[in-house]
Chain A
Amino acid sequence: MLMDVVSDLRFRWRALIHRAEVERELDEELRFHLEREATKLEQRGLDAQEARRRARLEFGGVDRVKEETRDARGVRVLETIVRDVRYAVRGLRARPGFALAVIVTLALGIGANAAMFGIVDRLMFRSLPYLRDPASVNRAYLSYSFRGARIVGGSLEYPRYLDLATSPTLSQSAAFRDLDLAIGTGQDSHEMHVDAVSASFFEFFDARPAIGRFFDTSEESTLADAPVVVLGYAFWKTRFGGRADVLGQQLQVGSISATIVGVAPKGFVGSDEVQPAGAFIPLTAYGKSQIPSFDKDYSWGWLAMMIRRKPGISTSAVAADLSRLYALSWQKEQALESRTAPVSLAKPTALVAPLHEMRGPDAGRNAPIILWICGVAAIVLLIACANVANLLLSRAFRRKREIAVRLALGATRGRLMTLLLIESLMLALAAGIAGMIVGEGGQLVLSRLFLPRNATIGVLDDARTIIFACLAALMAGLLTGMAPALQAGREDLVSALKSGAREGVRHRSRTRSALLVAQGTLSVFLLVGAGLFVRSLHKVAGIKLGYDVDKVMYVAAEMRGLALEKEQDIVLKTKLMEEARSIPGVEHVSQALTIPLWQMRRQSFSVPGVDSADHLGQFLLQMGTADFFRTMGTRIVRGRGFDSTDRRGSPPIIVVSQGMAQKIWPGEDALGKCVRVGGDTMPCATVIGVAENIKASDVIDDSGLQYYLSIDQQRPAGAALLVRTRGDAAGLEEVVRKRLQPLMPGPSYVTVTPMREIVDPARESWRLGATMFLLFGLLALVLAAIGLYSVIAYNVAQRTHELGLRIALGAHARDVLRMVLAEGLRFGLAGIGIGVAIALAAGHWVQPLLYQESAQDPLVFLSVAAVLAIVAVAASAIPASRAIRVDPSIALRAE
C-alpha cells in the first residue's frame, strides 16, 4: 500500500518537474505507434500516403489522446498551480517593495500570535510529555468556609493527601511539589527546579528511566532513612556528561544528601513543562527536612494532588467522593486540633479540575489577562490581514485592465480567482516563515513577562507552535486573498476594457473603505484597553503598601547540612546583623519573622473584655527587632515602635495596626491595652504603639489587621534579615551577599532578594495587561495608519486628473487640502464611532480585571478618540500635500 503511494508520487513528481522531457517522450511514443501501424498497412499493399492516413484514422485524434494521457498522469491540477505560482512569483518580484510590505505586515501579526500561542498552549492546554491518557487525569482542589469567606486552594497537607488517595473512584493518585533548591555543594552548587514527588507520580507516565530506575514506595515511605534522587535528563547531560556511573553517587539536594538511583528519560519534565525539573526526590525526604511531624498533623499544606479517574467515572462523581473523604479527614484533624471549626461550619468540599493550574479554580489574576491578550494578538493579526487585503485590492485595481484582457482571452473566472488566491497564499507562506522568526524573538520578551524566570521555551523547536503558525498563515492568506479574488470574480468586462484605469474607482473602493473602518475600529478597541490597563496599573502602583519597596531587601540564611540550636541561631543572626550594619550604604538592619506577601503567620490570641477577639478577622502576626519599623519604612502612628530596651525578660509588649486597633477597641485608645498572644494563660503583652496598616497578604485585598511582637523578647527560630539602604537597594544586593556569606557555617548560604522582586509579581497582572495592550495597541495603530495612508495616497493618485481639473478651474489649494484631509478624517471618525461602541459594550467583561478604574472611563475614551483622529489626519496629510502640488497642465495631459 505504502509502496503504491510512493510509486504514485514518484511518477507524478517526474511528470511535474520533468514536464518537457515527459512530453517529448510521449510524442516519440505516439509517433512510433503511428509509423508502426502505417508500416503494417503498407505491407498489406496500401501506398505510403494512404497507409499513414488510415493509421491516423485508426488512432483517433492525436491531440485528444495526448490531452487524455496528460490527465492520466494525474498532474493536471498541480501543473496549473505550478504555472500560477511561477506567474505570481514573477509578478511579486517585479514589485519587491509591495511584497515586502505585505510580508512584514503579516509576519508581525503571525509572529505575535505564534509567540502567544506557545505560551498559552503550555500554560493551559498541552498535556505533560509522556503522560498516559491525559483525558483521565485531573488535579484535586480543596475548599472550605472560613469566617464567612470561601477559601479555595490546591495545596494539601501530607496526611490529607493520604486520606483522599483512598477514594475508590481513583485508579491512581500522586502528590507533588515543585521547589527551588540548591543542588550540589560548595562552588558548583546552584539553585534548580526540583520536584518532590510521591513514588506513584512516575506511574502516571509512560516513561522508562534513561538509566537506573525511579524510586519506589518503600523509598518514599516516611520510615526510609536513606534519601534517593532521580536526575532530570538535561541536568544529567550537562552536569554529569551523561555518564552511567552517576548511579550510586551522592548528590546534595537542598539540605538532603541523596543517592542517585536513576535518570529520567529525555523530555521528561515532571509536573511543569515550563520549568522542567532538574531532579526528583521523594516528597517525604523533603517533608521531613522541613517539619519532622509533617506526616502527622494537618498544619502544613504544601502538596499538589494529581489523580486519575477510574474508567467511566465522571469528574463530578470523583469530586463527590473526595468531598466525602475530605469531611472525614476534617474530623480527624479536629480530633487533633480542637480549635478547628466543625464540619457543619467549614463545609469542606473537594473540587476536581484540569491538571493545568491556570485552568483551575485557583488560577489567580493572570489567567484571564493571558486569555485577553490572546484575543488581542488575534485582533492584531486581523488588522494586519485587513491591511494586506487593502494592499492586494489596490494592486488588483491597478491590474484591472490586465485581468479584463485575460478574461476576454478566455480565462475562466475560477482560474483567475485561483491565481489571485495563490498569490496571497504565497505571500502568507513567506510571512508565516518570517513570522516564526518574529515569534521566536517575541517569545523571548513575552516569556519573561508571563513565565517564571528560568522557563525554557521556543517557537522554532516546537512542532505545535510551528503548525499553529502555518495554520495562521494559511488563514491569513485565504482571508487576504478573498477580497481581491471576489473582486476579480465580478469584474465587469466590457466597462473595464473600455475605460481607462481611472474610472470605476469610486464605487469599487467600498470594500477598501470597509476594511479601513474595521482597522480603525479594532485599533480603538485595543487602545481603549491599553488606556484602561495603564490607568489601572498606575493606581495599583500608587497603592500605599505601608512599607518601602525600593530601599529594602530581604536576606534569608539557608541552613544546610546542620541544624543550629536556638542559641546558636540567635548568635548567627546577631553576627549577620552586625556585619550588614557595617556595610556602607546600609541604613538600618532588622530581623523579621515573615516577609510580606510571601509568608503569613497566624496565632490565636485573646483580649480581656473582648469576646473571642481573634475571630473578628484574619489577624497576621509579624515579629521584628529594634529597628524593624524604621527598616521597613512603616510609620508608627501612635506610641512607639520596638527599641533596644525591649529585651528578654522586660515586660512583654505588642504593636498593633490601626485596622486592628479599630476592630478590637473601637472608639477607644489602644495604647496600654493587654493582648494575650497564644491563649488566655499567656502573660499580658501591653500595646505600646499603633502602626499604619500594611499590605501583608495581598497588594489589593488586605484587611490591614496586623500585630507585631518583639523578636528579642519572643526569640522565635528561623527569622530572616531585612536590610534598608540609604539609596536604591538595587545594585547593593550582591555587595550584601558577598559580605554576609563568609559568616555562614559550612555549606549554608545566604540569599538576597530586593523587596521590589517580592512586590512586583503581586502587581504582575496589571503590568501584563498594560504592557501587552499598549504594545499591541500601538502596533495596531501603526498598521491602521499605514493602511489609511496607502488608501488615501492611492485615491489621490487616481484622482490626479480630477484634481488637476479643479485646480485649473480655479479651486484653491486650501479647498483641495480640506477635501483630501476630510476623506481621511471620515474614515477615522467612522472607526472611532464603531470602536467606541464596541469597547463600551465589551467593558462589562474587562471590568473585573481593572483596579479602581471604570471600564467606561471617559478620559480614556476621549484620549483614544483624539489620538486616532490625529493619526487619521496625519496619515492623510502627506497625500494631501501631494494633491495640492498637482500641476494642472501635466495632470490634464496624462492618458
Chain B
Amino acid sequence: MADAIDTAKLELPQGTLDLLILKALSLEPQHGWAISERIRQVSAAALQIPQGSLYPALHRLERRGWIKAKWGESDNNRRAKFYELTRTGRHQLEAETDAWRRLTVAVRLVLDMR
C-alpha cells in the first residue's frame, strides 16, 4: 500500500496541517492516531502526513488554546489522550476554512487564465 501512494504523495503547504487537524476534530473529540487515520482516509490517502509530525502540531494547538486535551478510554479500552475543539478553535477553523477557500479560488482563477 505504501508503495502505491508514494508517487501521488503531496507536500502540505505550511500551516495546512493545523487546519486539517481542526477539521478532523470538528465532529467529535479524537485521539492522535484516529486523527491521522481520519485525514488519511478522507483525503483518499493522497495527503500522506508523516504520523510523527502530528504531535508537535497538536501540542502547539493546545498551547494556543484552540484545542484541549483530556485523557479517556479508547475504542479498544485503552487509556488515550483525546483532543477536542475549544470555542476559539471552532472560530479559528471557520476563519481558516474561509481563508483557504478564498485562496484556492483565487489561485485557480490565476491558473485558469488564458
Q: Which residues of A pack against B, CB within 8 Å?
A: 3-4, 7-8, 11-12, 15, 25-26, 28-30, 32-33, 35-37, 39-40, 58-62, 64-65, 68-69, 71-74
With both chains docked as a complex, state the minimum distance between the C-beta of A30 and any C-beta of chain B, in angstroms.
Answer: 7
User: Which listed residue (B51, B64, B88) contacts A60, Cβ 8 A?
Assistant: B51
With both chains docked as a complex, state the minimum distance between the C-beta of B55 and any C-beta of chain A, in angstroms.
Answer: 5
Could you say which residues of chain A place their CB within 8 Å of the CB of B79?
A: 28, 32
A32-B74, A39-B76 known; A65 vs B63 contact (CB < 8 Å): no
With both chains docked as a complex, state the minimum distance between the C-beta of A18 and any C-beta of chain B, in angstroms.
Answer: 14
B88:A65 contact, CB within 8 angstroms: no
Q: Which residues of B pack against A, CB within 8 Å?
A: 2, 31-33, 36-37, 50-53, 55-57, 59-60, 62-65, 74, 76, 78-81, 88
Could you say which residues of chain A place their CB within 8 Å of the CB of B78?
A: 32, 35-36
Cα of A680 to Cα of B79 in the assembled complex, Å: 114
Q: Which residue of B lies closest to A58 (CB)?
A: B51
B55:A69 contact, CB within 8 angstroms: yes
Shortest 6 CB-CB distances between A and B: which pairs?
Answer: A7-B65, A60-B52, A65-B52, A68-B56, A72-B60, A72-B56
Q: Mostly helix, strand, loop or mixed at chain A's interface?
A: helix
B59:A69 contact, CB within 8 angstroms: yes
B56:A69 contact, CB within 8 angstroms: yes
A3:B65 contact, CB within 8 angstroms: yes
Cα of A40 to Cα of B57 in the assembled complex, Å: 23
A8:B81 contact, CB within 8 angstroms: no
B80:A65 contact, CB within 8 angstroms: no
Cα of A7 to Cα of B78 in the assembled complex, Å: 28
Could you say which residues of chain A place their CB within 8 Å of the CB of B36?
A: 33
With both chains docked as a complex, state the minimum distance between the C-beta of A539 and any C-beta of chain B, in angstroms.
Answer: 70
With both chains docked as a complex, state the minimum distance between the C-beta of B69 and any C-beta of chain A, in angstroms.
Answer: 9
**23 A-B pairs with C-beta separation under 8 A:** A4-B64, A4-B65, A7-B64, A7-B65, A8-B64, A8-B65, A11-B62, A11-B63, A25-B81, A32-B31, A32-B79, A36-B78, A39-B76, A59-B51, A59-B52, A60-B50, A60-B51, A60-B52, A62-B52, A68-B53, A68-B56, A72-B63, A74-B60
Cα of A37 to Cα of B52 in the assembled complex, Å: 12
Cα of A416 to Cα of B31 in the assembled complex, Å: 41
Cα of A11 to Cα of B80 in the assembled complex, Å: 19
Question: Which of A4, A36, A37, A59 has the most chain B CB within a 10 Å cutoff?
Answer: A36
Cα of A26 to Cα of B69 in the assembled complex, Å: 12
19 A-B pairs besides A3-B88, A11-B62, A73-B60 with CB distance below 8 A are A4-B64, A7-B65, A11-B65, A29-B31, A32-B32, A32-B33, A32-B78, A32-B81, A33-B31, A33-B32, A33-B33, A33-B51, A58-B51, A60-B52, A62-B52, A65-B55, A65-B56, A68-B52, A72-B57
Cα of A26 to Cα of B50 in the assembled complex, Å: 17
A71:B56 contact, CB within 8 angstroms: yes
Q: Which residue of B lies closest to A11 (CB)?
A: B63
Question: Which of B52, B64, B74 has the most chain A CB within a 10 Å cutoff?
Answer: B52
Could you say which residues of chain B place their CB within 8 Å of the CB of A3?
A: 65, 88
Could you say which residues of chain B place their CB within 8 Å of the CB of A60?
A: 50-53
With both chains docked as a complex, state the minimum distance between the C-beta of B64 and any C-beta of chain A, in angstroms.
Answer: 7
User: Which listed residue (B33, B52, B63, B76) contacts A74, Cβ 8 A?
Assistant: B63
Could you say which residues of chain B place their CB within 8 Å of the CB of A7?
A: 63-65
B65:A65 contact, CB within 8 angstroms: no
Cα of A229 to Cα of B31 in the assembled complex, Å: 73
A65-B52, A69-B59, A72-B56 known; A29 vs B32 contact (CB < 8 Å): yes
Could you say which residues of chain A place their CB within 8 Å of the CB of B76?
A: 36, 39
Cα of A69 to Cα of B53 in the assembled complex, Å: 9
Cα of A69 to Cα of B55 in the assembled complex, Å: 6
A64:B52 contact, CB within 8 angstroms: yes
Cα of A36 to Cα of B76 in the assembled complex, Å: 9
With both chains docked as a complex, state the minimum distance between the C-beta of A718 and any C-beta of chain B, in angstroms.
Answer: 76
Cα of A60 to Cα of B32 in the assembled complex, Å: 15
Could you say which residues of chain B place their CB within 8 Å of the CB of A64?
A: 52
Cα of A28 to Cα of B60 in the assembled complex, Å: 18
A36:B33 contact, CB within 8 angstroms: yes
Could you say which residues of chain A place their CB within 8 Å of the CB of B37?
A: 40
